[in-house]
Amino acid sequence: MNLKFWHPHRGPGNFGDELNVSLFNRLFGSVFEMEKYKDVDFYGIGTIIRPDVGQQNKCAIFGSGVWEVAPRYDKQNWNVFFLRGPVSSNILGYGGEKFITDAAYSLLLLDDMIPRLPKKHPVSVMPHMLQMQLVDWKYISEQTGVNIIDPYAPVDFIMEEIATSEKIISAAMHGAIVADICRVPWARLKMELLTLDETFFINELKWRDWLYSMGLSEKSVAVWNTHTQSNHGEYGYIQDIANTLQREIKNGHTFQLSSDIILGNKINCIANEADRFLNYYK
């Protein structure tokens, strides 16, 4: 079975996507090694369901989200265990029948993957991968005192940084998700610095897909660039980010966690689907 996830053509991968390797090789590694399933593609963590999924191989979908609102998805070769959220489920024509939540919550099926360490960072900020080179995060850290988590760092290191933080402010969705898993109060950082092929629409789609699945609020710490070259341009925007973070750290109105009851129910559902997966592919 082929583990499918997004990875850049060169350079290190992004945290949420790279989680697939460490997580699903632990959960389903025996299935991935079976020769009889060499023509089956596995889709787990990520906004990776495109209209061409399943066009060449059969596929197993375990908690993924849709990339776009397409006129038609050919699902003939799909084996859907669950989808990330109600947005994906509705786009794909399943209504509310096929979603649980993001596949990263499968981490809670493997207790030793959740770091249990003393807190060392009062507040950590995790940028979106596309924002790392566009903002002087070192300057922001110096101005605010926050710890910056690089989304390109190794998965185990990021897991520890999140778990050892008292609060997380994250523009990276899986930074917020893993914070929720580790029961670290988190807030979404919404910025307009999204480039390449991840449009603002797609980013909003995936966040809502996950938030709605866990009964979470859409509230966020938002920073929009109102500066031009004549009024300090880039530097003004960076200072706006620093000022906004300082206000949020002081007021704390945006931090949240999913409820323990909802989380417990979701993990039970994922555990059932993991058992169904292992019984199906044996």
Mean pLDDT of 198-217: 89
Delimit the domains of the chain by residue range.
Answer: 2-111+263-280, 117-259
63 and 102 in contact (C-beta within 8 Å)? yes
Q: How many percent of the chain have pLDDT more than 90?
A: 75
Measured between alpha carbons, how far is 69 from 201 in angstroms, rounded to an integer?
10
The kind and range of the H/E element at 27 are helix 15-32
pTM beyond 0.85: yes
pLDDT band of residue 198 (cuts 50, 70, 90) is low
pLDDT band of residue 232 (cuts 50, 70, 90) is very low
Kindly report, residue by residue over 147-196, the tens digit of the pLDDT.
999 999 999 999 999 999 999 999 999 999 999 999 999 999 988 655 44
Q: How many CB atoms lie within 10 A of CB 217?
A: 9
Residue 226 pLDDT exceeds 70: no
pLDDT band of residue 72 (cuts 50, 70, 90) is confident
pLDDT band of residue 230 (cuts 50, 70, 90) is very low
Which residues, listed in sequence order, are joined to residue 60 by a DSSP beta bridge?
42, 79
Compute CA distances 116 → 52, 111, 159, 237, 271, whole Å.
40, 10, 10, 36, 22
Reference 88, options 226, 206, 242, 251; nearest CA is 206
Which tokens is 212 given?
């709605």
Measured between alpha carbons, how far is 244 from 106 in angstroms, rounded to an integer?
33
94 and 83 in contact (C-beta within 8 Å)? yes
84 and 48 in contact (C-beta within 8 Å)? no
Measured between alpha carbons, how far is 257 from 49 in angstroms, rounded to an integer?
27
Measured between alpha carbons, how far is 225 from 208 in angstroms, rounded to an integer?
23
Mean pLDDT score of the chain, rounded to an integer? 91
Residue 9 pLDDT exceeds 90: no
CATH number belonging to the domain at 117-259, selected among 3.80.10, 3.40.50, 3.40.1580, 1.10.3470:
3.40.50
Where b means 16+ CB within 10 Å and e means fewer, 12-42 reads ebbbbbbbbbebbeebbeebbeeeebeebbb
